[in-house]
Amino acid sequence: MIDFGLSEEQEALQTSARELLARECTPALVRETAKSADGVPRPLYRRMAELGWTGLLVPEKDGGLGLGVLDLALVLEELGRAAAPGPFLATQLAIAALVRAGTAAQRQAWLPRLASGETFATLAYLEEADRHDAAGVALRARKARGGWQLAGAKLFVLEAPAADVFLVAARTAPRGISLFLVERGLRGVRVTPQETMDLTRRVGELVLRDVVVPRDALVGKEHGGGPLLARLLDLAAVGIAADSYGGAARVIEMAVEYSQVREQFGRKIGSFQAVKHIAAEMVADVAPSRSLVWWAAYAADHRPREAARAAAMAKASLGEIYRRTARRSVEIHGGIGFTWEHDLHLWFKRAHLNELLFGDPPYHRERLATLDGW
């Protein structure tokens, strides 16, 4: 039976997330968080943890909700709708790695902490070469007494300023990479924030100067981290796509609301076809893309052979759609939409970062072409 729709539980999850974030993640909170050192609105994160969102992917036996990527995507869509700051998605990537490849001891040690909403993690994979695959990993890890020694630098690490632990992709063999959990407090770890135009997400540089980690910091197979990294990047792509859909839907609402209030030439500007047609184009662009997000999220759990292709399509498409939609929304707002005072630029800037994070649209389109064997 084909059923391409959400379950009642999923609809309830999404509705409650939307309502909570409308109340507790206001644009005022987003702006205030932008001034903080690490970009984490802590009371909101504690609340999200209480509701189980942070442990959504964690199996029930490990104390989580045991839900899937589609459920996660619905929460991410709402976070995107609210332009919510903080390391939610970044932490989910580490959680997903542990759920998929962690040993029992690693899961026990980390999953409760990461699901608590008080400890944060992220994935550190990009370097100066700016490649979104294992081949771009040059940071070296060598076996050392009692564990591994890591040396090198990571760039563009999502939510690095808030992360307590980094899942670091490191080269352990000429043709092999491995993933390591590196705690921020270790000797030789240095985190430097990078400046971006976006006020809602943080990125940073991670420098590891001969950092020694214990043997059990290795997550997954030694030298065999490539496939795991690829799966995490697909998950990240789906997550950003979901966030982008939510943000795009929100900026349409903002434009339509404004067009019903603002008057020029003695009429609501929303009664002009010049404005209405922009709004309709936004809807035609955005509305069908929700199905692509759902499919990519569903495939991540249920269609392993199609998951990479679906993630590439979703990321390529939603990145452009969100950016285009935010731009159109600014246009409908006119001058006020260009001000710092109006909230719209929070979404406009997030759209730009979303488009580039975890691979820009041309990268993912080329990936699709390769996967389809052209």
Q: Is 161 exposed, middle or buried (0-12, 13-18, 19+ CB in 10 A)?
A: buried
Of positions 313, 330, 344, 351, contacts other proteins by CB under 8 A = 313
Please tell me the count of residues contacting other proteins according to CB under 8 A: 47
Q: Is 127 helix (H, G, I), strand (E, B) or coil?
A: coil
Q: Give the nearest distance from C-beta 87 to other proteins in angstroms.
A: 28
Of positions 280, 331, 338, 339, contacts other proteins by CB under 8 A = 280
Site string for other proteins, 204-243 (x = CB under 8 A): ----------------------------------------
Pairing of strands 176-183, 218-219: antiparallel
264 in contact with other proteins (CB under 8 A): no
Residue 298 CB coordination number (10 Å): 19
Q: With respect to other proteins, which residue has the nearer C-beta, 168 or 307?
A: 307
Residue 63 CB coordination number (10 Å): 15
13 in contact with other proteins (CB under 8 A): no
5 in contact with other proteins (CB under 8 A): yes
188: region left, alpha or beta (phi > 0 left; psi from -120 to 50 alpha) = left
Alpha helices in 142-288, H assignment, sequence order: 225-261, 273-286
State the amino acid at position 272 in one-letter form: F
Q: With respect to other proteins, which residue has the nearer C-beta, 154 or 250?
A: 250
Q: With respect to other proteins, which residue has the nearer C-beta, 100 or 262?
A: 262
Say if residues 123 and 132 touch (Cβ distance below 8 Å): no
Report residue 147 as tokens. Answer: 């564990």
86 in contact with other proteins (CB under 8 A): no
Using the 8-state DSSP alphabet, how is residue 224 labeled? B
User: Distance between CA atoms of 28 and 38, rounded to whole angstroms?
Assistant: 17
Of positions 85, 102, 247, 270, contacts other proteins by CB under 8 A = 270
319 in contact with other proteins (CB under 8 A): no
Q: With respect to other proteins, which residue has the nearer C-beta, 222 or 366?
A: 366
**Lookup result for tokens 């035609």:** 284
- Of 55-63, 147-155, 251-259, 339-347, the segment contacting other proteins by CB under 8 A is 251-259
Residue 27 CB coordination number (10 Å): 14
Of positions 35, 185, 195, 273, contacts other proteins by CB under 8 A = 273
Residues near other proteins, by CB under 8 A: 1-7, 70, 252, 256, 259-260, 267-268, 270-273, 275-277, 279-281, 283-284, 287-292, 294-295, 298, 302-303, 313, 316-317, 362, 365-366, 368-369, 372, 374
